């Protein structure tokens, strides 16, 4: 088993090494800054394709009417809105996010869309979830795992709160597969994105961090192994857009 960030004493915040105890605060500052511009941020980072990725992610989840779902890093409400018709009137979705600003934005957006019943909002840390064992039929996490300090702890918590037979799904930026595309992708990430962040959001530093965080995130096979080590079974992944993102799946057996 690999050392946790806390055992190492330091971890990465983008390309910088920082004390592990400080990363949560630093990430919190980024997302407090970008909360109101989060959709714009995702559009800039993905050229708008994130909407299609999220639709595929939710359309292929193992979920049925009446299920109980936990959407971690779900503050924007995007995933919950897509899953709500699938769990139906008797289903329940908990939006969990460590950042109060993000959670507030998501609650406002879903309320404005008339989505009120069957939704709950919980400010929580993915590394230490405030839910009993075997609480959820499905746990999702879209574009959030790379910002967690101790990813192994978060994956263990996901496995813990899943019911037997339940499914864990992680949608995250990953490792581009085509060698010819990597220089183009790097140019967009490190040259174009911070400038767009400055122009449209007045916050180039946060967008620089987000680009760097993608490169520091474990690639596909490594994350699959981490999910297995956390106690999930039948782990697999599907690359999308040439590996720009990957949908990871695991089950509690």
Note whether 62 and 147 are within 8 A (CB).
no
> What DSSP state is assigned to residue 3?
P
83-122: per-residue pLDDT in tens?
999 999 999 999 999 988 889 988 999 999 999 999 999 9
Q: Report angle CA 18, 44, 198 to the nearest 5 degrees.
A: 65
What integer is the mean pLDDT of 200-215?
78
Cα–Cα distance for residue pair 89/86, rounded to 1 Å: 9
Query: How confident is residue 212, by pLDDT bands cut at 50, 70 and 90?
Result: confident
**Does the pLDDT value for residue 224 go beyond 60?**
yes
Q: What is the pLDDT of residue 35?
A: 64
Q: Report angle CA 106, 168, 49 to the nearest 5 degrees.
A: 55
Q: What is the pLDDT of residue 14?
A: 56
Q: Which residues lie across from 173 on neighbouring strands?
A: 245
Give one word for 9, left, alpha or beta, with left for phi > 0 and alpha for psi -120 to 50.
left
Domain at 10-177+208-252: CATH code: 3.40.50.150
Three-state DSSP class for 164? strand
Cα–Cα distance for residue pair 128/125, rounded to 1 Å: 6
Place of tokens 């967009």: 188
Structure tokens at 194: 């911070």
Residue positions forming the annotated binding site: 76, 97, 125-126
Closest CA to 250 of 238, 237, 229, 233: 233
What integer is the mean pLDDT of 208-225?
89
Backbone angles phi, psi at 177, to 5 degrees: -90, -40
Cα–Cα distance for residue pair 80/244, rounded to 1 Å: 23
Residue positions forming the annotated binding site for S-adenosyl-L-methionine: 76, 97, 125-126
HSE of 86 in the Cβ direction (CA atoms, 13 Å)? 20
What integer is the mean pLDDT of 28-43?
68
**Does the pLDDT value for residue 9 go beyond 80?**
no
The burial of 91, by beta-carbon neighbours within 10 Å (0-12 exposed, 13-18 middle, 19 or more buried), is given as buried
Query: How confident is residue 18, by pLDDT bands cut at 50, 70 and 90?
Result: low
Q: What is the pLDDT of residue 207?
A: 76
**Does the pLDDT value for residue 1 go beyond 50?**
no
Cα–Cα distance for residue pair 82/57, rounded to 1 Å: 10
Three-state DSSP class for 168? strand
Domain residue ranges of the chain, discontinuous segments joined by +: 10-177+208-252
């Amino acid at each position: 088993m690999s050392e946790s960030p806390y055992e190492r004493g330091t971890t990465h915040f983008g390309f910088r090494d920082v004390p592990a105890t400080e990363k949560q605060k630093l990430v919190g500052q980024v997302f407090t800054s970008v909360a109101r511009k989060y959709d714009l941020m995702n559009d800039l980072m993905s050229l708008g394709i994130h909407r299609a990725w999220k639709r595929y992610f939710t359309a292929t989840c193992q979920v049925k009417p009446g299920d109980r779902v936990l959407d971690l890093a779900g503050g924007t409400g995007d995933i919950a809105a897509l899953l709500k018709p699938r769990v139906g009137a008797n289903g329940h979705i908990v939006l969990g996010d460590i950042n109060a600003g993000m959670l507030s934005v998501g609650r406002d957006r879903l309320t404005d869309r008339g989505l009120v019943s069957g939704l709950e909002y919980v400010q929580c840390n993915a590394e230490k979830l405030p839910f009993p064992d075997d609480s959820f039929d499905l746990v999702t996490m879209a574009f959030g795992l790379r910002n967690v300090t101790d990813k192994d702890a978060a994956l263990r918590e996901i496995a813990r709160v899943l019911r037997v037979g339940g499914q864990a799904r992680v949608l995250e930026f990953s490792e581009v597969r085509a060698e010819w595309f990597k220089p183009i992708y790097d140019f967009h990430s490190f040259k174009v994105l911070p400038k767009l962040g400055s122009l449209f959001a007045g916050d180039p530093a946060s967008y620089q961090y987000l680009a760097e965080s993608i490169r520091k995130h474990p690639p596909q096979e490594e994350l699959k192994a981490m999910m297995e080590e956390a106690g999930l079974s039948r782990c697999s992944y599907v690359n999308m857009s040439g590996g720009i993102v990957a949908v990871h799946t695991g089950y509690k057996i």
